[in-house]
């Protein structure tokens, strides 16, 4: 059984960019529901006890759309929480160099990411991913993710479903993306993912089934702030 991983920060930690109300609904209702449905459907499919990454890929392979949608959404949201932090900074080191190469600098990346997210029709996700020939910005529809795309390693993602921003921004997805990029991106997480993409350390993994509290099995763990 998978457990809903706790948010790595308090509900109000990303205010005013993302309200506590949005995070409560998004994590405690939406994400929770995806995890619970994954547990039910994975059991039916005989995949219970397997790591979530395997469940996502296997569901895709079998054409089990219900399981795929829920399992991928469970994974995407756990990854998305990690992509945000109350302490945003600038990318540095190898990631900063790769961003310069691919986008001509951080502003070029932000422009590409915001444009991709704004242009994406309907629900989905916008990603910064490492590929064999450098960094890329892509978007995926509904629950689709980079786990089922060969040769792409995810560094960052932003949720484009309306539930991610509607309470705070209504229909202003461009406004949400602009502030998300400026105010809450967890660049140190993206740097660890980029190192893992290059064979240094392990990338993010969803907590293993039955690991308890969702802490074990994750890499790049940041201490939860004391309060």
Which parts of this chain interact with Fe ion (CB under 5 A)? 159, 161, 164
Which CB atom, from 102 or from 157, has the smaller least distance to Fe ion? 157
Q: β-strand 134-141 against 153-159: which pairing, if any?
A: unpaired
Closest contact distance (angstroms) between CB of 164 and Fe ion is: 5
Which CB atom, from 31 or from 110, has the smaller least distance to Fe ion? 31
Nearest position to Fe ion, beta carbon: 159
Q: Rounded CA gap, 165 and 175, in Å?
A: 10
Closest alpha carbon to 135 in 160, 114, 104: 104
Closest contact distance (angstroms) between CB of 103 and Fe ion is: 25
Closest contact distance (angstroms) between CB of 123 and Fe ion is: 9
Structure token digits, residue 117: 């997210």
Closest contact distance (angstroms) between CB of 226 and Fe ion is: 28
Closest alpha carbon to 180 in 99, 83, 95: 83
Closest contact distance (angstroms) between CB of 94 and Fe ion is: 30
Closest contact distance (angstroms) between CB of 118 and Fe ion is: 17
Instruction: Dump the DSSP string for 168-196.
Output: HHTT-HHHHHHHHHHHTB-HHHHHHHHHH
CA 137 to chain centre: 14
Which CB atom, from 27 or from 60, has the smaller least distance to Fe ion? 27
Which CB atom, from 31 or from 98, has the smaller least distance to Fe ion? 31
Closest alpha carbon to 176 in 188, 185, 164: 164
Which CB atom, from 145 or from 159, has the smaller least distance to Fe ion? 159
Contact between 184 and 85 under an 8 Å Cβ cutoff? The reply is yes
Could you check whether the bond before residue 168 is cis, i.e. omega within 30 degrees of 0? no
Which CB atom, from 76 or from 91, has the smaller least distance to Fe ion? 76
Closest alpha carbon to 156 in 176, 138, 133, 144: 138
């Amino acid at each position: 059984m998978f457990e809903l991983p706790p948010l790595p920060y308090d509900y109000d930690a990303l205010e005013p960019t993302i309200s506590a109300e949005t995070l409560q609904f998004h994590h405690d209702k939406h994400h929770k529901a995806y995890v619970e449905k994954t547990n039910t459907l994975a059991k039916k499919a005989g995949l219970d006890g397997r790591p979530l990454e395997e469940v996502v890929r296997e569901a895709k392979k079998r054409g089990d759309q219900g399981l795929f949608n829920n399992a991928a959404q469970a994974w995407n949201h756990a990854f998305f929480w990690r992509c945000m932090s109350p302490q945003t900074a600038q990318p540095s080191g190898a990631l900063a160099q790769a961003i310069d190469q691919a986008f001509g600098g951080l502003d070029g990346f932000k422009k590409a990411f915001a444009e991709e997210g704004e242009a994406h029709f309907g629900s989905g996700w916008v990603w910064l991913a490492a590929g064999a020939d450098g960094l890329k910005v892509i978007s995926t529809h509904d629950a689709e993710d980079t786990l089922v795309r060969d040769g792409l390693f995810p560094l960052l993602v932003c949720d484009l479903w309306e539930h991610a921003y509607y309470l705070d921004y209504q229909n202003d997805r461009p406004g949400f993306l602009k502030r998300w990029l400026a105010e809450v991106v967890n660049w140190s997480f993206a740097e660890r993912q980029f190192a893992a993409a290059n064979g240094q350390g392990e990338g993010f993994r969803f907590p293993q089934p039955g690991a308890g509290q969702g802490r074990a099995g994750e890499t790049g763990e940041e201490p939860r702030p004391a309060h």
